[in-house]
A and B are shown apart, each in its own frame.
Chain A
Amino acid sequence: MSAEIEDLLKRYQNYPNVSGIIILDPFAIPIKTTMEYTLTVHYAALISTLTYKAAKMITNLDASNELVTIRLRTKVHEVIVLPSENYIIIVVQNPGT
């Protein structure tokens, strides 16, 4: 588990424009983060709520379907959420264009 998370962190951190990575456990508690703590907790609370709501909505629309990623694009930056069985990965990046 821990080695897997470390590998994920290293892989995603090397991409250009990535400004922060947070990994949560299924109870929305941050396990690893590259961001400041208060911001991490803020992201964790808000994005975990959105993730659970989106996953439930997808299942409601089509019971055999399953949520893979969420991509939130704002004016300033982009948040990519990857929910999986054991943890939720949140990547915050600033796209160049």
Chain B
Amino acid sequence: MASNTVQMTFDRLVQLPGVTGAILIDGNGVPVRTNLPANVARIYADRMRPLVILARSMVQDLENGDELSYVRLRTRRQETMVATENEHTIILIQDNRVLDESWRSSVASRRASAL
């Protein structure tokens, strides 16, 4: 049941604008689904795992009872989002330009509706 929900979430996220890569990782750190080549997905999964573990423990250390929702790493070319709320982890790699454009249009439409 939970696995189905995660799969549906993954399918929805892959269709976001500017997504150049998406990886679904289970609780053991094994990539389950991905649209990248298997070795690239494996590399991303292995690298992101210690970072997420560190971020999660950091958040719990800063404030008791708080929980990490996601981490966004923005680099010069792309933005990597690592969402981890339950057993599974989803890594999204998005292009910066497309992401900025969609954010800008979202802000513009919100402003237009406010007027």
A residues contacting B by CB (< 8 A) are 42-43, 46-47, 49-50, 53-54, 57-58, 60-62, 65-77
Contacts and interface: CB of A to CB of B under 8 A. Distances in A.
A81 B6 CA distance: 29
A73 B70 contact: yes
Contact of B75 (A42, A65, A76): A65
B74 interface: yes
A12 B74 CA distance: 19
Interface of B: 43-44, 47-48, 50-51, 54-55, 58-59, 61-63, 66-78
A46 B68 CA distance: 14
B41 to A, nearest CB: 12
A20 to B, nearest CB: 11
A68 B58 contact: no
A94 to B, nearest CB: 12
Contacts, number: 72
Contacts of B63: 74, 76
Contacts of B48: 57
A43 B62 contact: yes
Contact of A58 (B55, B62, B66, B75): B75
B47 A68 contact: no
A74 to B, nearest CB: 5
B66 A70 contact: no
B62 A66 contact: no
Nearest to A73: B69
Nearest to A80: B72
A57 B54 contact: no
